[in-house]
């Protein structure tokens, strides 16, 4: 069941710490979904589309920094694509005589 405020993905290889963070997240009205590795986090991210990710930098199968870049890459393309097109159009209009 998803709480009203959405899902928070907790990427932590220590089960005890992941459970503690999940309890705090759930107390704030979110649903905590824990993943113990980068591979599990990728799958959980695709499945749940979380509103936030709490990420351990040191994971057993990949650096957390690498996982962060992977998870943010599609979001960056979506955020900057239209902005770039608008800028190009504006520049073309300005260049017209």
CATH number of the domain enclosing 35 = 3.40.50.2300
Count of structural domains within the chain: 1
pLDDT in tens, 65-90: 999 999 888 665 544 444 566 767 77
With respect to residue 2, please indicate whether it lies within any of the assigned structural domains. Answer: no
Phi, psi (degrees; rounded to nearest 5) at 31: -100, 125
With respect to residue 29, please indicate whether it lies within any of the assigned structural domains. Answer: yes
With respect to residue 1, please indicate whether it lies within any of the assigned structural domains. Answer: no
What confidence tier does 93 reach under pLDDT thresholds 50, 70, 90? confident
With respect to residue 73, please indicate whether it lies within any of the assigned structural domains. Answer: yes
Tell me which residue range forms the domain holding 12: 7-95
- pLDDT > 90? residue 3: no
Q: Give the model's pLDDT for residue 80.
A: 47
Q: Give the model's pLDDT for residue 72.
A: 86
State the first-to-last Cα distance of the chain, in angstroms, to the nearest integer: 59
Q: What is the pTM of this model?
A: 0.72
d(CA 44, CA 50): 9
């Amino acid at each position: 069941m998803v709480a009203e405020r959405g899902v928070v993905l907790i990427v932590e290889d220590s089960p005890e710490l992941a459970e503690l963070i999940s309890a705090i997240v759930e107390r704030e009205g979110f649903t905590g979904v824990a993943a113990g590795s980068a591979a599990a986090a990728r799958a959980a991210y695709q499945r749940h589309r979380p509103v936030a990710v709490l990420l351990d930098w040191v994971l057993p199968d990949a650096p957390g920094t690498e996982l962060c870049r992977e998870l943010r890459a599609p979001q960056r393309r979506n955020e900057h694509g239209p902005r770039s097109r608008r800028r190009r159009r504006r520049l073309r209009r300005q260049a017209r005589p």
